[in-house]
């Protein structure tokens, strides 16, 4: 009987701890908050349930009303994962919204005072003039408009261009 040489048989690989498989210190991760309590949080990260401690007990209370959150892996020792909750930018406060509304009203009023309609284009031009520290006059707005019309069509689609 002949033995035919070939590739060596494949031996099963021992499964390493799943926590170390995809988490590293200083890695940012996002996860679904499954359970909060007793100084621990249970998360689903990439479909794997992870039990972790947080760096600060106050972070646990911040997680109670949240379904998803972002974390920074701070430590992974003694089979304990320690995470830091990353703050998500808070939505605009009522003060910021009121301030933006007040600015929009002032801008419309200014345009009316100089004899121009408060169109979105005129508002964009007036904001640009104000940001440059120039006086807002009908002549400057008309000059800017004629210059921009000579370059390319502009307007609402080009609002981002003015916000540099």
In a domain, residue 6? The reply is no
> For the chain, how many structural domains are there in total?
2
| Domain-ending residue, one of 70, 86, 102 | 86
Q: What is the pTM of this model?
A: 0.43
Which parts of the chain fold into alpha helices (H)? Answer: 18-22, 57-63, 94-113, 120-131, 138-151, 159-162
* Beta-bridge mates of residue 86: 70
> Which residue range forms the structural domain that includes residue 52?
20-86
In a domain, residue 56? The reply is yes
Angle formed by the axes of helices 138-151 and 120-131, to 10°? 110
Examine the domain organization and report whether 78 and 25 are in the same domain. yes
Examine the domain organization and report whether 142 and 110 are in the same domain. yes
| pLDDT one-digit tens code per residue, 120-159 | 888 888 888 888 888 999 999 999 888 887 776 655 444 4
């Amino acid at each position: 009987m002949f033995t035919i040489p070939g590739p060596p048989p494949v031996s099963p690989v021992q499964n390493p701890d799943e926590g170390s498989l995809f988490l590293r210190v200083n890695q940012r991760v996002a996860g679904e908050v499954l359970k909060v309590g007793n100084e621990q949080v249970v998360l689903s990260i990439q479909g794997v349930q992870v039990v972790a401690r947080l760096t600060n007990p106050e972070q646990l209370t911040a997680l109670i009303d949240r379904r998803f959150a972002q974390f920074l892996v701070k430590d992974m020792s003694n089979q304990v994962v320690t995470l830091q909750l990353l703050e998500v930018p808070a939505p605009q406060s009522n003060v910021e919204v009121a301030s933006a509304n007040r600015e929009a009203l002032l801008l419309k009023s200014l345009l009316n005072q100089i004899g121009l309609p408060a169109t979105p284009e005129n508002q964009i031009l007036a904001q640009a003039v104000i940001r440059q520290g120039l006086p807002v006059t009908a002549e400057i707005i008309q000059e800017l408009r004629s210059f921009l019309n000579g370059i390319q069509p502009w307007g609402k689609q080009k609002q981002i261009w003015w916000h540099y």
